[in-house]
Every structure is written in C-alpha cells, then in structure tokens.
C-alpha cells in the first residue's frame, strides 16, 4: 500500500510524502483516520471515515477550492457495485489490495458508466468492469489512471462500450474550483485495457498522444495521454 500512498502524494496530499521516511512517520501518514475507507464488512458504521459503499464515501468527501481532495481507500475482496457515480470534486480512489484484481468495481447493464469524472481525480490499483457501458466517463478535469485494469464486453453492440470515453471540450467553461490545474485530459500508465469497441473514445476536442505499449507475458501495459493539441 505504501507504493500507492506515495503515488497519491504526488498530486493530492503532501502528507503522504512522509510515509517512506521511517516506520513512525509511515504509521502517522497512513493511519486509517487520515483516509476515507469503503469497507462492506465493517459492522460499526459509526466509526469515523468508514462507509459501506463508494457513493456515500464520495458524498462525504471534501470539496474545497485550492485544497487537495480526500483519498478514498477501497477494501479488497469481493466486488463493489458502481453505476453512473458522478465525481465533481478532486479525489483519489485507491484499491487496498496488493494487485488491481483484489479490488473490483462492477458496473451492470443499463448504466452509461461506472464512474463519471467532472474534476481532477486519480484512480490507482483498481479493476473496473462494465458489462455494456464504459468503465470511465471523462467529462472534464485531469484524470490519472495508474496501475489499473479496465474491462468491457469483448464484442459490444453499443458504440459506447469502451473502457475510456472522454467528452471533454476546450470550449467548456471551467469552474472556479478547477482553475489552476494542469488542464483537461486523461493520463493512463501501467494499465491493462480489455474489450470494448475501442480502447479510448473521444467525442470532444481531446486527441490521443504519446502512446507507449509494453507487451508482458500475461497482459499489455499502456502509457498514454489524451489531451488537447
């Protein structure tokens, strides 16, 4: 978990940079009370910062201009149901397992997307599966996908069945809470993409740039940006 603690710190919360200093600082920086946690197995939901599902954790997270958003740690084991969940505040969603397969988000048929992003966000160490719609729907903001698995139907009937869909346009009005970020776009690294009509579908002004693919024995790893020219 330390790896993803440190990665999240780069863009979201400086306190996580201290996690690698020593055991004491690691304990303080990664203490459960500093995270919002999603854990369906927790019986006592009165514990601060613990939620039964992802949607309630996102609703409880902070939305303060010019202050990095919360980090939500999603418990490993089993699957978490997600459907058209809008994220309009800066957030980092991290799977708590050792590998992305340990933490799975499933979007059932009848939904446009599993997660819809309208702000600068980051996903790490998660598997997102969509039965018909898309895994990630990017409307605006800077979306970073690191060390994840995105899965869609292998032979989709719907043209929207794509792991990543971006509708972002440079002509959109940027909310004041988002000003000062790196601009709209999607950055994907070390991520396995499976199925879908296309790996990436853009219907706005963003275009695919700087593509790098690593062929591993069990999967393909992607590095690419989807940004404005």
What per-residue confidence (pLDDT) applies to 159?
64
At 39 the pLDDT is: 86
pLDDT for res 173 = 47
Which pLDDT tens digit goes with each residue over 106-164? 998 888 899 999 999 999 999 999 988 899 999 999 999 999 999 987 766 656 688 99
Strand 185-194 and strand 220-228: the pairing is antiparallel
Per-residue tokens: 107: 């979007």
Percent of the chain with pLDDT over 70: 70
Confidence (pLDDT) at 178: 45
Confidence (pTM): 0.79
Q: Which residues contact 11 (CB under 8 A, 6 or more apart)?
A: 68, 92, 120, 122, 144
Distance of CA 229 to the CA centre of its chain: 24
What does the alpha-carbon distance between residue 208 and residue 93 come to, in Å, rounded to a whole number? Answer: 24
Q: Which helix (H) or strand (E) holds 8?
A: helix 2-11
Q: To 10 degrees, the CA torsion angle through 208, 225, 98, 6?
A: -170
Give the integer Cα–Cα distance in Å for 213 and 217.
Answer: 13
CA dist 151 and 156 (Å) reads: 12
Low-confidence ranges of the chain (pLDDT < 50): 1-13, 16, 64-68, 173-181
């Amino acid at each position: 978990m330390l790896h993803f603690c440190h990665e999240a710190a780069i863009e979201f919360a400086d306190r996580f940079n201290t996690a690698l200093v020593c055991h004491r600082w690691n304990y303080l920086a990664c203490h459960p009370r500093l995270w919002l946690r999603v854990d369906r197995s927790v019986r006592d939901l009165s514990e601060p910062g613990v939620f039964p599902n992802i949607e309630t954790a996102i609703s409880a997270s902070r939305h303060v201009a010019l202050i990095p958003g919360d980090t939500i740690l999603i418990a490993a084991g089993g699957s978490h149901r997600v459907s058209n969940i809008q994220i309009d505040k800066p957030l980092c969603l991290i799977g708590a397992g050792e590998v992305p397969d340990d933490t799975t988000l499933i979007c059932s048929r009848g939904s446009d997307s599993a997660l819809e992003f309208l702000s600068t966000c980051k996903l790490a160490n998660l598997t997102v599966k969509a039965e018909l719609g898309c895994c990630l729907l990017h409307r605006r903001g800077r979306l970073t996908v690191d060390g994840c698995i995105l899965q869609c139907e292998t032979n989709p009937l719907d043209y929207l069945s794509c792991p990543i869909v971006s509708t972002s346009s440079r002509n959109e009005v940027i909310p004041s809470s988002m000003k000062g970020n790196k601009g709209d776009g999607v950055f994907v690294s070390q991520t396995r993409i499976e199925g879908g009509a296309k790996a990436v579908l853009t219907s706005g002004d963003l275009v695919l740039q700087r593509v790098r693919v690593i062929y591993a024995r069990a999967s393909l790893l992607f590095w690419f940006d989807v940004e404005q020219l």
